[in-house]
Structure 1
């Protein structure tokens, strides 16, 4: 009976974690460049139950025979959440500081069977390189191109981009031309296995080392659109449906747990009573 407790409890914990993940997706449905997390439930390894035969133990010939009863599953767990690197829809903002990455042709990784992904290259407060799909940029007080949270946007050479005003043009291949003739090229990284990257929050991803230069990587085709933002790829209707399903599954496991508790209470208070 105690095994049933553990099985139902693991189901409740897994559904709780799934609900939290889906709630985070819903909270970022309007966050530019946000990539929805996805996961799945997996069962713990099955246990093979066997019954020892009624002969003396150990048996006279030194062997013990078993009668197979069957398998028992001991619960479920939630696999690690992984981002869905699917292209989000583009929304026109007409702001010169907004830039969207548009995937055109990204090779399929033969080892994973998934397509790669391209990212803007930025620098965090510790001077470390990070990657993002959020092109909602701005200019700080010194004219540096930054993200909305103040991280420097880097050029192809890994340097910060400084402009004299927000009246600049960005071509489809990433070249920036400022109002006073200053030039730069947006740094774009390419990962052939984006699922290996670590999601840090605030739309940032960390890679093990630096990503390849997307401009020089063979068969990688993409473009930039100034005055547009890539929207979140969260499907709000589907996410709400999955949240309701997870909530109902949590309730079902909860009722099973309550039933086990009632059975144990009856066993202790009634079955064990003498006279």
Structure 2
């Protein structure tokens, strides 16, 4: 009976984590370049239950014979294995702002490939983003809204000389004095990335070593992309679908809760009534 408690409790915990993920998606539905998260749910290993016993054969010696009959499989609950970002491209929204840029996927040579702008966070680490809602700081450098430098092909912060610049479809930022290609990086497997703070992505590290790699998109064979100035890529969150999934998660949480209540009543009867002396 206690095993049933654990199974139902794991279901409640799983749906709670799923609800948290969906709530975060809804909260960022209007965030440019945001990629919705998907909770990957797995079940714990099943147990095969058998009935073990013996039977006395009516022979001269009354021989004992072991018996084994299959009862069936027993599930032991579910858990959230991991949370993955859906890298499907969002819709394009026109803003007519000089500093806004949308990175548009063309032909990607890998099914799980993904393209990103490259930025440098406050710690000097390289990060990746699809949010092209950039601005220009007081020193004339192109930055994200959080103040992270946008990098060029050489890995240096992009100097815009104020806001008088244009960006070609090839991703080259042109001012009155220079033309600098924005650094657009490509990964063949976007599952090698995890979400960092402020709508940024970072490569996964295991045992102190980086898993996967990012390559300059301009050097990848068969890859095409474009950059649209004055546009932003919208979040890829489908609010209607997400709300439906939130209701489903709530109902599943509620169902597991009712199971635990039923087990609790059974335990109360077992403790307080079974074996009571009349």
What range describes the TM-score normalised by the shorter chain of this pair? Answer: over 0.9
Structure 2 partner of 1:124: 121
Separation (CA, whole Å) in 2 of partners of 1:61 and 1:37: 63
Is 2:152 the counterpart of 1:155? yes
Offset of residue 66 of structure 1: 2.6
Structure 2 partner of 1:191: 187
TM-score, structure 2 normalization: 0.91
Of 97, 100, 108, the residue aligned with 1:98 is 100
Is 2:238 the counterpart of 1:239? no
Structure 1 partner of 2:232: 229
Offset of residue 40 of structure 1: 3.3
SS in 2 for 1:105: coil
Separation (CA, whole Å) in 2 of partners of 1:228 and 1:246: 35
Structure 2 partner of 1:74: 76
Offset of residue 195 of structure 1: 1.2
Offset of residue 241 of structure 1: 0.1
Separation (CA, whole Å) in 2 of partners of 1:116 and 1:185: 21
Offset of residue 146 of structure 1: 0.5
Name the one with the larger strand percent: 2
Gaps of 5+ in 2: 57-61, 204-209
Larger displacement relative to structure 2 (263-272 or 14-23): 263-272
Q: Which runs of 4+ in 1 moved over 6 A?
A: 60-63
Is 2:25 the counterpart of 1:29? no
Structure 1 partner of 2:271: 268
Structure 2 partner of 1:39: 39
Offset of residue 55 of structure 1: 5.4
Larger displacement relative to structure 2 (131-140 or 45-54): 45-54
Gaps of 5+ in 1: 109-113
Of 137, 162, 168, the residue aligned with 2:134 is 137
